[in-house]
Amino acid sequence: MNQTENKTQVSNVAKEGDESYLREYLASEFRYGVSQARVHVAKKIDKLGMRSSDTAQIFFKDVRVPSKNLIGEEGKGFTYQMLQFQEERLWGVATVLTSLKTIIEETIDYIRQRKMFNQSVLQNQAVHFRLAELATEVELLRSLLYRTVALYVEGNDVTMAKLKAGCLAREVTDSCLQFWGGMGFISEVLVSRFYRDWRLTSIVSGTDETMISIIHKYMETLPRKRYTSTLP
């Protein structure tokens, strides 16, 4: 038996202080054999995006888990998490693709009806040129995803697709929101939600900066560390 005192963030939790619900959830749903668990749910975290998924800190103290319910090797939890990152990153790319295509289509529909200077905003060359560029970038990301899946099956890395998805999610949502004008700043419209929700793509499952570092590693272009002697 192991006694642990952990703090972790989880999604879709019960309301603050609903400890009995969580004990029952841990014991019956996952069947971890939790005995005499003391569980405390902290205040729900107010997030920028992904607001339909509640996130809060849950504190576990003196939670006893039978060794027969141990999944994998003890102490290797972080390693297992790292190993599944590749598939999580692929899922992220596939998920954001549909949303980006949708928001471009909705933006076209809206600005076709929106009038400025007695003509549709869509008639502005700068606007429809930009939308054409964004649509092309989304299709390029789709092709990159297909190529990356094939490479992953052969045991290769998926970092480039994840990096591109994060950057393009910010680019598309920001450009489309701009075309909506003041309406884009209202929470009720879809472009506003995507602008907030998909900002997470460049953070979750490894930040853009982490992805770039990994790519540098595979390209063997990382600068070597230089050590300066302190001797006279």
Per residue in 34-72, pLDDT tens? 544 577 778 889 999 998 888 888 888 887 778 888 889
**Identity of the residue numbered 154:** E
Annotation says 88 is catalytic: yes
More confident residue, 227 or 220: 220
Q: Residue 164 pLDDT > 80, yes or no?
A: yes
Q: What predicted TM-score, i.e. pTM, was given to this entire model?
A: 0.77
The percent of residues in the chain predicted with pLDDT above 90, rounded, is 59
- Out of 19, 73, 74, 88, pick the active-site residue: 88
Q: What is the pLDDT of residue 227?
A: 54
Which H helix or E strand runs over 148?
helix 125-153
Over residues 137-153, the pLDDT tens digits come to 999 999 999 999 999 99
Instruction: List, for residues 65-120, the tens digit of each pLDDT value.
Output: 788 888 899 889 889 888 889 999 999 999 999 999 999 999 999 999 999 889 99
* pLDDT number for residue 1: 38
- Please provide the average confidence, as pLDDT, over all residues in the chain: 84
C-beta neighbour count of 1 within 10 angstroms = 8
Q: Quote the CA–CA distance of 180 and 133 in Å, as a whole number.
A: 17
List CB contacts of 199: < 8 A, sequence separation 6 or more: 48, 49, 169, 170, 173
